[in-house]
Amino acid sequence: MGQSGGCTAAINSSLVGVVEEALRHGEIEGVLGTLHGVEGLLRGELVDLAAESAETLQRIRRTPSAALGSCRHKLQEGDLERIVDILRANNVRYFLYIGGNDSADTSHRVAQTAVAEGYDLRVISVPKTIDNDLPITDHCPGYGSIARFVAQSTRDAGMDTEAMKRYDPVKIIEVMGRNAGWVAASSALGKSNPLDAPHLIYLPESVFSVDRFLEDVARVHREVGYVVVVLSETVRDQSGQVVGNEKPCFVDPFGHGYYDSPAAYLSRVVTRELGLRARYDKPGTIQRMSMALASETDLEEAHLLGRRAVQLAVEGHGDEMVILVRQPGPTYRCLVDSTPLANVANVEKRMPAEFISEGGSFVTRAFIEYATPLIGGPLLPYARLAKEPL
């Protein structure tokens, strides 16, 4: 097994689920981990996970980041054949890979290559992405925890901005989300009345207009007295450019661009055009792996998917991804199923229209109902003084 892509608070819970379940099956003679995903596998960097103590595994389950090390390796010519050769040499019959969109594609291609080479290999992908953009599954492990972090942090930033509104009346918070707005949308999960942050949310699914943004900020400032804005890191204008950027400052091996902060740019625009002092927060990678704000629901589901992935492999399944299927009814419950990797690889699930408010500057009640169960319980209870005048 291996881990790949951006690390999360829940990715190790899936790893432990795999190891624990594998050790329960007598037909499995060993449990090998590849360091830094397929990159380490290509180098033959394998470790014995069965040798780890039960105590270590239990602590790893609640340890953030990727315990085996992660990677963003784009497969090169000859890599797939070499991967199958290395797996064959170690008599590996089940290959489980934890990751997001690109990892699902890697898993699918490994499975296809094994079939082409006549090697009996069962490949199961275990979903992991804070972007929540994998199709078919109701949601992705990693998302519930970053959603809790963003919701709680937005509330905290809102309380600060409310107190400092005479000096710093505008706060812009920029969060992760490559092409989908699930993370930014989660900031609304801590809002219980109109005063609470966030007041405005901007997602990649909607075209961003600087002029309309300034109008929105000015309106909220008149109505509330301060403004907290949450936006995805890749909000784009009508021409398709990330706001405040002409081109990416970095492009990873998969062609994903990374950009200078739209929030920093928009803070300057607000101050210049509206005369309101604006500050911005950009939490960075801490948002995707904060164990202090991890969702218990997220950790449990990640562990469950890891266990089920092993069971499916042993039962004869291959070239599939384990998924979560939400059950109807007033009480939140998900069952575990699977789907062919061909349905997942290189497919991106964006926020549906029914989750985005008219005008594109907030989310709907339907989104709140979808996402609230995923953050694992209520946030910290806050209050405001009545402030009765003398």
What tens digit of pLDDT does each residue of 96-129 get? Answer: 999 999 999 999 999 999 999 999 999 999 999 9
The yes-or-no verdict on residue 248 having pLDDT over 90 is no
Joined together, the tokens standing for residue 153 give 């942090």
Is 128 inside a domain boundary?
yes
Joined together, the tokens standing for residue 196 give 């609470």
Place of tokens 């996970």: 49
What mean pLDDT do residues 32-52 have? Answer: 97
What mean pLDDT do residues 355-373 have? Answer: 97
What tens digit of pLDDT does each residue of 288-345 get? Answer: 999 999 999 999 999 999 999 999 999 999 999 999 999 999 999 999 999 999 999 8
What mean pLDDT do residues 245-253 have? Answer: 78
The yes-or-no verdict on residue 260 having pLDDT over 90 is no
In this structure, the answer to whether residues 185 and 297 fall within a common structural domain is no
CA distance linking residue 270 with residue 50, whole number of Å = 56
Region of residue 274 (left: phi > 0; alpha: psi -120 to 50; beta: else): alpha
pLDDT at residue number 243 = 92
Is 386 inside a domain boundary?
no
Is 80 inside a domain boundary?
yes
Is 388 inside a domain boundary?
no
Is 79 inside a domain boundary?
yes
What mean pLDDT do residues 11-15 have? Answer: 98
What tens digit of pLDDT does each residue of 151-194 get? Answer: 999 999 999 999 999 999 999 999 999 899 999 999 999 999 99
In the chain, the number of structural domains is 2
CATH number, domain of 97, equals: 3.40.50.450
In this structure, the answer to whether residues 207 and 101 fall within a common structural domain is no
CATH number, domain of 217, equals: 3.40.50.460
In this structure, the answer to whether residues 250 and 297 fall within a common structural domain is no
pLDDT band, very low/low/confident/very high, at 388 (cuts 50, 70, 90) = very high
CA distance linking residue 155 with residue 375, whole number of Å = 15
Place of tokens 């607000």: 270
Region of residue 5 (left: phi > 0; alpha: psi -120 to 50; beta: else): left
Length of the chain, in residues: 390
Peptide bond into 389 cis (omega under 30): no
Element (H, E) at 281: strand 278-281
The yes-or-no verdict on residue 252 having pLDDT over 80 is no
Is 390 inside a domain boundary?
no
CA distance linking residue 289 with residue 286, whole number of Å = 6
Is 389 inside a domain boundary?
no
How far apart are the two ends of the chain, measured CA to CA in Å? 67
The yes-or-no verdict on residue 136 having pLDDT over 80 is yes
pLDDT at residue number 186 = 98
CA distance linking residue 390 with residue 385, whole number of Å = 14
The residue segments making up the domain with residue 326 are 2-132+292-342
In this structure, the answer to whether residues 180 and 310 fall within a common structural domain is no
- Residue 156: name the closest of 364, 361, 378, 379 by CA: 379
In this structure, the answer to whether residues 24 and 88 fall within a common structural domain is yes
In this structure, the answer to whether residues 306 and 331 fall within a common structural domain is yes
In this structure, the answer to whether residues 81 and 152 fall within a common structural domain is no
In this structure, the answer to whether residues 198 and 299 fall within a common structural domain is no
Is 60 inside a domain boundary?
yes
Three-class SS of residue 323? Answer: strand
Joined together, the tokens standing for residue 348 give 């991106």
Three-class SS of residue 250? Answer: strand
In this structure, the answer to whether residues 233 and 358 fall within a common structural domain is yes
In this structure, the answer to whether residues 228 and 266 fall within a common structural domain is yes
Q: Which residues are identified as catalytic?
A: 131
Chain-centroid distance, C-alpha 127: 10
pLDDT at residue number 360 = 95
In this structure, the answer to whether residues 93 and 204 fall within a common structural domain is no
In this structure, the answer to whether residues 127 and 148 fall within a common structural domain is no
278-281 and 257-258: which strand pairing? Answer: unpaired
